[in-house]
Chain A
Amino acid sequence: MPSVTLDSVVAVHPRVSIRPEPFGALLYHFSTRQLSFLKDRMLLEVVRACDGTRTLGEALGTTGVPAAQTARYLRAVETLVASRMLESASAGTAPRRTAPDSATISTEAVA
């Protein structure tokens, strides 16, 4: 598992498309052809704030994530890095490419 910290700088992969939904959002990666579901709107805001310039700590701050929930959001971001929806923008904090995570299935699931 890649690890991300509050100092990591990540960005949405350029081949990822984001579709907001009432429950959160759908993310689709055109290269891996995988789909992710974000289960709440605040996580969507966090993902949008990950622009490759801010640290994750700054992104969580901008979005207004309560301090008590920081760990949860970090874990969510970690999952997105593992499925390559987000990629590290600062060398060394997270691997650029990882094998598809076991929690990731292809969009086949809805084909």
Chain B
Amino acid sequence: MTLVAPTPTATTTTAAPPTPHRTSSTLLGHFERGLDAPICLTWELTYACNLSCSHCLSSSGRRDPRELTTEECKGIIDELQRMQVFYVNIGGGEPTVRSDFWELVDYATAHQVGVKFSTNGVKITPEVAQRLAASDYVDVQISLDGATAEVNDAVRGPGSYDLAMRAMQNLADAGFRGFKISVVCTRENIPQLDDFKAIADRFQAQLRLTRLRPSGRGADVWDDLHPLPHQQRELYDWLVANGEGVLTGDSFFHLSAFGEALPGLNLCGAGRVVCLIDPIGDVYACPFAIHDEFLAGSIREPGGFEGVWRHSELFQKLREPTGGGACGSCAFYDSCRGGCMAAKFFTGLPLDGPDPECVRGFGEQLLAERATDALPKPTADHSHRTSPPRPRGSAGPVPLTLSIRRPDAQPAHACAESPLAGFTPTAVTACACGGH
């Protein structure tokens, strides 16, 4: 982000050169009141996924039968082009398992909508990597939650580390420079930050660190996996030391209360400058808030996406000024702005109070006092029914007993109640049911 401000504002007479890390309060005000179109948005294309990560923020696994059709997806892209939404972050589920995935990527880029997609790497073959490397309009983000297989696979499932490494190798071999390696920061992998950076450097990729949210299945593991208070400090210091070379998706603005603001807008953009379209066309305020409480509408309604963005009651409400609630009097409110709405909601904290990971410890205090028996559950759960799914390939063949069942050889059981037990028809001369 470059802030280019040639003219003095009402309150200052000095020319305002662009200052890194800080966006002027007037511009922030514009963002808080919402823009006519999002700057970018997240679009989960499918709930289907080959993995079953324990912290999946969209509780993905199984495809939803109501999934948007190819034509509906193209309709959304047309709208995004009209609204000049510069790019979409495509995710899922695993978006590349949709059979029309590449068709949609091509359609978007041909319509001036840039694409960055997140993948676990399952479909990034050498051929696909070649193709991706040739496009300026497509960016790729490989998910990796441990710098070692041990730490990664504990969260993402057996084999997922190798899957990601293979995809990254393919991208690097194809000459794709600067693809993203996306890491959700956990208690287990914060000690590995330097190792992640080394992996990114090795593949000439860029490291992206994001916050573990208690969203989706993340709610089930958040208590055990979210960074400990001293790790938050370690992470903050690491981010400050590594500067803008490491991306964060603006996820750690709640840590800005430690001192210097981190790069980014440092505000909650939910419903103001970002939002989420889910696989069935429902529009939520942000990717971490898949819950009825944050459902703004559906692109299947007559007004389409634009109608939801501009007129939904929820989004209007999110764009109203807030005083900061319980945090309003805190000296650090201007830095952290009360933190993440979704993190508060899914941990059962009031939305106008501190973030559960408030660096001053107010969140922890509230977490200790809250009632944990009625925490909100995500609206849509598409988890695999056998979660985690049975490993494929590594477990060897599935033993099956094959036999030929010969009805005439089956003796009638002594307790068989059917009047036809033991009777075997020898010829059927007519069938009344028709159609078979």
Contacts and interface: CB of A to CB of B under 8 A. Distances in A.
Given A17-B86, A19-B84, A72-B15, A108 B208 contact: yes
A91 interface: no
Nearest to B253: A109
Interface string A64-91: 0000010111011001100101000000
A108 B15 CA distance: 27
B274 A30 contact: no
A25 to B, nearest CB: 9
Contact of B6 (A34, A43, A83): A43
B10 to A, nearest CB: 12
A42 B265 contact: no
Contacts of A103: 1-3, 18-20
A76 B264 contact: no
Contacts, number: 134
B333 interface: no
B39 interface: yes
B269 interface: yes
B5 interface: yes
Contacts of A21: 30, 35-36
Contacts of A12: none
Nearest to A17: B86
Interface stretch (B57-65, B242-250, B356-364, B405-413): B242-250
Contacts of B23: 37
Interface residues of A, number: 42
B4 A37 contact: yes
A107 interface: yes
Contact of B26 (A23, A42, A43, A104): A23
B6 A39 contact: yes
B365 to A, nearest CB: 30
Contacts of A100: 244
A28 B86 CA distance: 7
A40 interface: yes
Contacts of A17: 84, 86, 112
Interface residues of B, number: 46
Interface string B231-269: 000000000000010011110000000000001110001
Nearest to A41: B7
B117 interface: no
B139 interface: yes
B114 A109 contact: no
B274 A102 contact: no
Interface in B389-417: none
A76 B1 contact: no
Nearest to B112: A17
Interface string A1-39: 000000000000001010101110010101101111111
B19 A23 contact: no
Contacts of A104: 1-2
B24 interface: yes
Contacts of B137: 30
Most buried by A among B23, B26, B247, B273: B247
B323 to A, nearest CB: 23
A38 B20 contact: no
Contacts of A35: 1-2, 39, 86
B122 interface: no
B136 A15 contact: yes
Contacts of A19: 37, 84, 86
B6 A76 contact: yes
Most buried by B among A22, A33, A106: A106
Given A28-B86, A35-B1, A39-B24, A109 B6 contact: no
Interface of A: 15, 17, 19, 21-23, 26, 28, 30-31, 33-40, 42-43, 69, 71-73, 75-76, 79-80, 83, 85, 100-111
Interface of B: 1-7, 15-20, 23-24, 26-27, 30, 35-37, 39-40, 42, 84, 86-87, 89, 112, 114, 116, 136-137, 139, 208, 244, 247-250, 263-265, 269, 273-274
11 contacts: A34-B1, A35-B2, A35-B86, A36-B3, A43-B7, A72-B15, A75-B6, A103-B3, A103-B18, A103-B20, A110-B264
Given A31-B136, A33-B139, 9 more contacts: A19-B84, A30-B86, A37-B23, A39-B3, A76-B4, A102-B20, A103-B2, A108-B249, A110-B274
CB-based closest 9 A-B pairs: A109-B264, A28-B86, A39-B5, A36-B2, A76-B6, A108-B247, A111-B249, A72-B6, A103-B18
